[in-house]
Chains A and B, each alone.
Chain A
Amino acid sequence: MTPGLRRQRALAEYTLAAMARRRGKNIGLVAVYAAVVFFVASAMLFSAALRREAAIVLSEAPELVVQNLLMGRHELMPGAAVETLAGIRGVAGAQGRLWGYFYDRVNGANYTLMVPFDPALIPPAGAAIFGEAIPRTRDHPWLGAPLFLSRHPGDLVRFNAAGQLTAAQGLVSSDLILIGEADFRAFFGLPPEVYTDIAVTIRNPREIDTIVQKAEALLPDARFVTRDEILRTYQKIFSWREGILVALAGASILAFAIFAAEKASGLSADEAREIGILKAIGWDMRDVIAMKLWEGGLVSVGAFLAGTVAAYLHVFAFGAALFAPVLKGWSVIYPDFPLAPEIDGIEMTALFFLTVLPYLAATLVPIWRIASADPDQVMR
């Protein structure tokens, strides 16, 4: 070790010993600081997780969805459009989708009925595959009991259970009912050759814009929603909310910075005397500043780690329990499944900037003031 490093080590050791002697005060400081970090970090981790979740869900969505509009509202899509779209150069495939909502008068719930693309998921005629929430809310007496849906009084349609979707499939599946195309059309009274909308897959994502332009010319009444657009909207919404939360937390950061500056400048007589002694026995201003920076560094890193770990547990193990009441109301896709834990470098850097910089900035000047004490003052 070079003398420079050994000096830092000696200063750090002194700092640790000095902090241990004022344990109560330092623990209090770290606790308050960690609480601030916890608040900001929870907000960030939570929104980042939602952003990621949205991206994952959307990654399975088609690149482009085409809806028919009538009087500005969503209308059924004539099947001919499928051929038109599939004929555009660059389109890998176009498929009419059938999905709709069903209001269950028995328990007031809303289900999503859908004809799946995946042939493995298409149930035989008269049967359905449904999400795990449905048998639960319907009090099904046994696993695999048939599902009865009533569209109006006196009406009853029976679907045999052909399987169940598991909770692990997350976000969208719990209220889902998958049925075959013929059953779907019969259930909703749909004529053949119309679809809810059309999913278009595109080989090269760089060509989406040109394909949309061509399709708009062919289907002037349709609305085109690209996956990137939805993704952007989600990203914007979640980033914006995270920003608001962090800006709110800014108030607490500011309050904490003021508190820290107070603490750093309002040294107890004891501490001021100690610094005076150190200067008198041969410590330079730089040594004192370095020592105090160690103290600040230990406090902030300790608080940063404690706050971040607590926030991580809060968001990923306890489902952001403290934020849920606030966020549930205005979240587009509030998840009731565990968020996939992930730590992101840029978020952590930003968090470090937002919480540690104000602390260091607030304490540097008071530290310097203490460190520039006259060395001869303890002589009398």
Chain B
Amino acid sequence: MISLRSVTKLYNEGRPNELRALSDVSLEIGRDAVTVFKGPSGSGKTTLLSIVGCMARPTSGRVLVDGRMVSGLPETFLTEERRSTFGFVFQRFNLIRGLTVAENVALPAAPLGPDPRALAARIETRLEALDLADKADTPVEHLSGGEMQRAAIARALINDAPVLIADEPTANLDTDLTHRFLDIVADLRAEGRSVILSSHDPRIWQSDLVDRVVGMADGRLAEVAA
């Protein structure tokens, strides 16, 4: 369970170009659910996701993860919270070029001091579940768009995060691949994970999979549809 209480986020605080990306957002996101934020460009979806995912700190307001206050934590501990709870899939995937798929997938585990053999086994299982096992040793720049996304998902889940956060996951995908993505989301849900998405893609928020759609406009929550 993730709670936001009166969260406000200002960029360039105190400077002439100060910008209010989120104002006074209060929100509860339950576990075992697929939640989608939808809204026009610039409405603050990415900002909200980064605060929900403990990637950024709110300017004011509080963020609680499973009842623990995380918004006041020093960066290091915020990172620890994030590592243990969230996996991220970025809009542009952000795989590291020059490394293979398996090496990319292993990256989030490095700071935790993984046992190399257990990690390799985890990577294999993850890649198999995502149909990427045969690409494990391919450098990521040789992958297709859909494969890159699946590699990014594998990386997001390698530490077994209970919550997957994906920003505009289908922005670069055609209809087939979008359905493929939704299948993966369905699998994740079946595994008992929560998924939080942002999207302005109707194919996403009209899908049956989605438990909750949260509309956004100008840094505020607009309407909340179930």
A/B contact in complex, CB under 8 angstroms: yes
B111:A282 contact, CB within 8 angstroms: yes
Contacts of A209-235 to chain B: CB distance below 8 A: none
Contacting residues of chain B (116-144) with chain A, CB-CB under 8 angstroms: 116
Residues of A close to B92: CB separation below 8 A: 378
Q: How far is the CB of B49 from chain A (nearest CB, A)?
A: 7
* CB contact under 8 A between A378 and B82, given known A7-B113, A10-B114, A282-B159: no
A4 to B115: give the CA distance in the assembly, Å.
Answer: 11
Structural contact, A374 and B56, CB atoms closer than 8 A: yes
Q: Is A284's beta carbon under 8 Å from chain B? A: yes
| Cα of A378 to Cα of B139 in the assembled complex, Å | 21
Residue from B46, B76, B83, B96 in contact with A285 in the complex, judged by beta carbons closer than 8 Å: B76
Question: Is B94's CB under 8 angstroms from A5's CB?
Answer: no
Q: Which of A277, A283, A375 contacts B110 (CB 8 A)?
A: A283
Instruction: Fill in one digit per residue for A7-28: 1 if any B CB lies within 8 Å of its CB, else 0.
Output: 1111101100110010000000
Set of chain B residues within 8 Å of A283, measured between Cβ atoms: 79, 107-108, 110-111
In the complex, B1 has a CB within 8 A of chain A: no
Contact A379 B103 (CB under 8 A): no
Q: Is B76 a contact of A274 with CB atoms below 8 Å?
A: no
B205 within 8 A of A: no
A379 & B111 in contact (Cβ 8 Å cutoff): no
Give the most central of B75, B76, B91: most A CB within 10 Å: B75
A280-B94 in contact (CB<8A): yes
Partner of B107, one of A3, A8, A278: A278
Say which size band chain B's interface belongs to.
Answer: 35 or more
Q: Which residues of A contact B113 (CB under 8 A)?
A: 2-10
Interface of chain A residues 300 through 342 with chain B (CB within 8 A): none
Interface centre among A4, A283, A284 (most CB of B within 10 A): A284
Is the CB of A152 closer than 8 A to any CB of chain B?
no
- Residue pair A11, B110 in contact (C-beta under 8 Å): yes
B88 at the binding interface (Cβ < 8 Å):
yes
A378 touches which one: B83, B90, B156 (CB < 8 A)? B90
With A6-B113, A6-B115 already in contact, the answer to whether A280 and B55 are too (CB < 8 A) is: yes
Instruction: Give, as a whole number of angstroms, the nearest-CB distance from B211 to chain A.
Output: 24
On whether the beta carbons of A21 and B98 are closer than 8 Å, the reply is yes
Bound form: Cα–Cα A11–B110 in Å: 6
Taking Cβ atoms with an 8 Å cutoff, the residues of B that contact A are: 46, 49-50, 55-56, 75-76, 79-80, 82-83, 88, 90-92, 94-99, 103, 106-116, 155-156, 159, 167
Name 22 interchain pairs, CB-CB below 8 A, sorted by A.
Answer: A3-B112, A8-B113, A9-B116, A10-B106, A13-B110, A14-B107, A21-B98, A270-B97, A280-B55, A280-B94, A281-B88, A282-B83, A284-B75, A284-B76, A284-B111, A286-B76, A376-B55, A379-B55, A379-B90, A379-B91, A379-B167, A380-B91
